[in-house]
Amino acid sequence: MFFHPFAATCSLFLILSSCVESTEISIDKEEGAQITSSAETPTNIIFLIGDGMGTSQVSAAYFYGEEDAQPNFSRFPILGLINTTSGSDRITDSGAGATAFSIGQKSYNGAIGVDMQGEAVQTVNELLEDQGWQSGVISTSGITHATPASFYAHVAKRSQQYDIATSLVHSNISFFAGGGQKWFMNRPDSLNYLDSLTHYGFSVGTESLGSADHSKRVGYLLANDGLLAKHEGRDDFLPNATAEALEYFAQSDKPFFLMVEGSQIDWGGHENNGDYVIQEVLDFDKAIGVALDYAEKHGNTLVVVTADHETGGFSLSGDGKSMSGYGEISPTFSTGGHTATLIPVFAYGPGANYFGGVYENTAIFSKFFEALGQ
């Protein structure tokens, strides 16, 4: 007999309260098929940040990606826009930009996990860790760089990368992958922080993904500082590290918060190098695909993609002279720095609805908790 679990759950809840916000997975015993109802509350969050990625950078995926393949950006049903202005400047840096997401407050440019007064504030993943969640950070920059650091460190200035490395050692992060060996190994205090990571239960890989012991906490430091740029030969590190993190977290029943940063979209913007930006956006889109595939397969996973700010005043221009130049795109830039343009937000999965609309970057933090019913 076919049993419809959602209808049954629904009518029961209609009597008790309202028929929403319940996640029901039932097994049809005769058919043996798993039936998943539409979950309203996520048990996992994957948060992807394309550093320096404005709408033109996203648009590049539509003109420079594989022919006949839609970018993964097209798979999101919910869109928003954020104002990324920081607490000190109209135009944010990556420290204040990521800190707005991680602590839910506008702070000054250069801040890492601290408020306007320089006081440490618990980050979204630290608050969730207190509730038994696992958390992870991945970046194509050094793992002590501003964006990933804002999720596990609390320091006054982003340049304090030795202190940030110390914070990572003492954090509750379960999985990290990126570059930045030099902040752990060639330190002014002469300590070898690879040994410290091992002491605190990490299996550390310095050569390649896939080499760490998944029965321990996992850390990858795969370059002295930032990883290679994609256009200079980086492999599929970002999608592969994302896949390995998801495999790692799926081993346990604990919920997880995973932050994945496409760090170098920003670096290509600073260089005003169109090919650099485009290759990094396409690579980031692949990582988004890995996250969405996981969310589609496992359910109960909220995927949110956004950026801390736009970099370069990037645009997909024609030749600028006449309509006859509309047949070709020549990427152009208006600045070597960041801009104040509003930034898109993409959301998929349970709780995604909270991310529609136009709002401040700090609301990303509160929307995570709203999506969790907290």
Binding residues vs Zn ion (CB under 5 A): 266
- In the complex, the smallest distance separating the C-beta of residue 342 from Zn ion, rounded to whole angstroms, is 17
- Shorter beta-carbon distance to Zn ion: residue 261 or 266: 266
Cβ closer to Zn ion: 126 or 266? 266
CB of 266 to Zn ion, least distance (A): 4
For residue 52, the minimal CB distance to Zn ion (Å) is 6
In terms of CB distance, is 51 or 115 closer to Zn ion? 51
**What token pair was written down for 369?**
């908790």
In whole angstroms, the minimum distance from the beta carbon of 320 to Zn ion comes to 26
Q: How far is the CB of 285 from Zn ion (least distance, A)?
A: 20
- 303 by Cβ neighbours in 10 Å (0-12 / 13-18 / 19+) ranks as buried
What are the residue ranges of helices labelled H in 17-120? 55-64, 94-103
Angle at which helices 94-103 and 363-371 cross, to 10°: 30
Nearer to Zn ion, 49 or 290 (CB): 49
Tell me whether residue 312 or residue 331 sits nearer to Zn ion (CB atom).
312
Please identify, using beta-carbon distances, which residue of 95 and 255 lies nearer to Zn ion. 95
The least distance separating Zn ion from the CB of residue 51, rounded to whole angstroms, comes to: 7
Report the nearest approach of Zn ion to the CB of residue 270 (Å). 6
Give 178 or 219: the residue with its C-beta nearer to Zn ion.
178
Q: What is the sign, positive or negative, of the torsion defined by CA atoms of 338, 342, 346, 347?
A: positive
Report yes or no: 308 and 341 within 8 Å, Cβ to Cβ.
no
The answer to whether the beta carbons of residues 174 and 128 sit under 8 Å apart is no
Question: Which DSSP state fits 44?
Answer: E
User: Quick one: which of 253, 19, 267, 256 has its CA closest to 142?
Assistant: 267
Measured distance CA(136)–CA(245) in Å, rounded:
7
> Closest-CB residue for Zn ion?
266
DSSP for 85-109 reads --SS-SS--HHHHHHHHHHSS---T
| CA 234 – CA 141 distance, rounded (Å) | 12
